[in-house]
Chain A
Amino acid sequence: MGVVTAKRPAPVSATKPQALTWRAKLRRDWPLLVMNLPMLLLVVAFWWIPALGNVIAFQDYNPYDGGILGSPIIGFTNFALLFEDPQFLRAVTNTLSITAFQLVFYFPVPIMLALLLNSIVSAKLRAFVQGVVYMPFFFSWVLVVAIFQQMFGGAGLLAQILRENGREAVDWMTNSDTFILLLTSQTIWKDAGWGAIIFLAALSTIDPNLYEAAAVDGARRWRRMWHITLPGLRPVIVLLLILRLGDALNVGFEQFMLQRSAVGSAASEVFDTFVYWSGLRTGDLGYGAAAGLFKGLVGLLLILAANRVAHAFGERGVYSRS
């Protein structure tokens, strides 16, 4: 009964897969391959083959003279250009610190929100609140930033109220020291409700009888959450955490471009904005491809490392060892 929750699920097949030859495996698993085929075709056609184009990262690529097959190979020059830039390091550290900050202060929010929503007893109220909180996901960053400006900016609602009461108005939108807080609150406001959906789905897979059994054993509300709910959510949490790490150098683009003049580039320069600006200066596609490959490589390493850590803690992570 309790298999669903705390422990890693039992191996899917009772037989030891390593013992089989590839022929035997193929004979056994061909239906899986057939199932995989539609996805494989799409991925190969629209992802793998086009992704080979990233080879231009190693070229002095010129689409108008030689193209991808005729442009000269220049090795790691594009990467060297990237790393040599004095702004590069700042952009990377900025990005990573924003990611780290958001892992602590944003990542748990959708989980807590899902738990909160799930604990609302009235079905009507719960549906209403759920329906409300995920709406901001559909707003563009332009709108989200405009809304924050209208509320907390120097000519905004809050400043106006403060002034009317004879107090000094505070402009939250242009303070580079608190930018990371502003940024995270914007992200929470926009995305937390949407992010909670997947955890709500995960909560629905937890066996309700476990709660009853725990309650009968005398476990109170918080203990039940600690011992049943959270372990039930753990695989999904770990999975999303690993995937977020793979995106460590991705913290968004528009949000930063829009608020660049407000807080200054020292605070708002992230990897993507850096690549955008330096790409305009160097003016070619090979450079952009090199930046993309670098970002991907960092992401991949982080995913693999995080996955290894997850395995050490007995979690399945994003892929399994066997």
Chain B
Amino acid sequence: MTALTSRKPARLAPWEERPSPVGQFGKGTLVTMIVVAVLGPLYTIVLTSLSSSATVNRAGGLVLVPDGITFEAYRQIFSDTVVSRAVLVSTGVTLAGTLISTGVSVLGAYSLSRPGSFLHRPLLFSVLLMFVFFPGIIPVYLMVSGLGLKDGYWSLILPTAVSAFNVVVLRSFFMNIPGEVLDSARIDGAGEFLILWRIVLPMSKAVTAVVAMFYAVGYWNAWFNAMLYIDDTRKWPLALILRQYVVDSNPLPAATAGVTGDAPPTLAIKMAIVVIAVIPALIIYPFVQRHFTKGVIVGAVKG
């Protein structure tokens, strides 16, 4: 638990008792098992992505035993100019989308965090209903094309900009902030925007970072909207471009076998795509994690 209090948490707090050797051993074993359970399969994925097609063909599936390493799959993916363009599109959409979504959700969640306020219940209920009832694809499509958003980047952001889950989670964290902190600010004459900006947000860094990450990961991996709304392949995000690498020719009937060409994408390329898809998340997670390490609320109350 020391992690919560200190920037250098590698030591136990003075008040904390020494852990028992048995407990330490048990925990160590458990953690090792968990890590192995994930890294084992990950090893075969990475290994397969680094294997030649001959090795993959011999294995008839994921490669377990290394037999020469080649970066051919990655070279092939990144030499594709379409891919580098799509990286730009995805980066832009993810940045803009995350900013908009997080902003809108924080504002929305805060506006719903005061029971008894004007129109509180109907507004909250309208968000809650988003959990259980869904509009069909066709009405949303008509709306997007009716607003003239088709074939534009906004069609990748606006229809999925608000996630009810994220709003409700943010709201729940906001409501855990002690009421007296907000009340004293109000008595000092602070408006709602100021309270949100100066008090609530600084005290909710962890959850805001997590929600921003949820949105970012969602935008980065989203392909369905692009598939539906974007006709021009030059505006396709990475997720949609990469999907084309991993398609299976399985559903194709005999006569059309020729249309996939004589050398369908190898398993090595598919696995390279899997690896590539995980990388951005690995990059942003440490930034999010940084906000987990402090007892933020107590700081704010004291200060």
Contacts and interface: CB of A to CB of B under 8 A. Distances in A.
Interface in A192-231: 193, 197-198, 200-209, 211-212, 215-216, 220-221, 224, 229
B107 A36 contact: yes
A18 to B, nearest CB: 7
A306 interface: no
A66 interface: no
A9 B173 CA distance: 11
B4 A206 contact: yes
A40 B2 CA distance: 42
A224 B16 CA distance: 11
Contact of A10 (B16, B180, B193): B180
User: B35, B115, B209: which has the most chain A beta carbons within 10 Å?
Assistant: B115
B265 to A, nearest CB: 14
Interface string B258-301: 00000000000000001001100110011011011111111001
A246 interface: yes
Interface residues of B, number: 117
Interface stretch (B7-15, B70-78, B83-91): B7-15
Nearest to A10: B179
Nearest to B4: A208
A139 interface: yes
B176 A38 contact: no
Nearest to B114: A12
User: A10, A119, A224: which has the most chain B beta carbons within 10 Å?
Assistant: A119
Given A116-B30, A127-B286, A136 B38 contact: yes
A130 interface: yes
B15 A35 contact: no
Contacts of A26: 118
Contacts of B128: 303, 318-319
A53 B138 contact: yes
Interface stretch (A44-52, A94-102, A172-180): A44-52
Contact of A47 (B3, B114, B130, B193): B130
Contacts of A289: 136
Nearest to A292: B134
Given A205-B173, A216-B15, A123 B180 contact: no
B53 interface: no
Contacts of B221: 138
Given A40-B123, A132-B39, A204 B292 contact: yes
A49 B143 contact: yes
Given A9-B176, A63-B138, A211-B1, A292 B133 contact: yes
15 contacts: A10-B179, A12-B114, A13-B116, A40-B126, A43-B126, A121-B12, A138-B281, A204-B291, A207-B297, A207-B298, A208-B1, A220-B17, A299-B131, A303-B132, A320-B115
Interface of B: 1-5, 8-13, 15-17, 19, 27, 30-31, 34-35, 37-39, 41-42, 44-45, 61-62, 64, 103-105, 107-108, 110-119, 121, 123-136, 138-140, 142-144, 147, 158-162, 165, 167-169, 172-173, 175-180, 182-183, 186, 191-193, 196, 203-204, 206-207, 209-210, 213, 221, 274, 277-278, 281-282, 285-286, 288-289, 291-298, 301
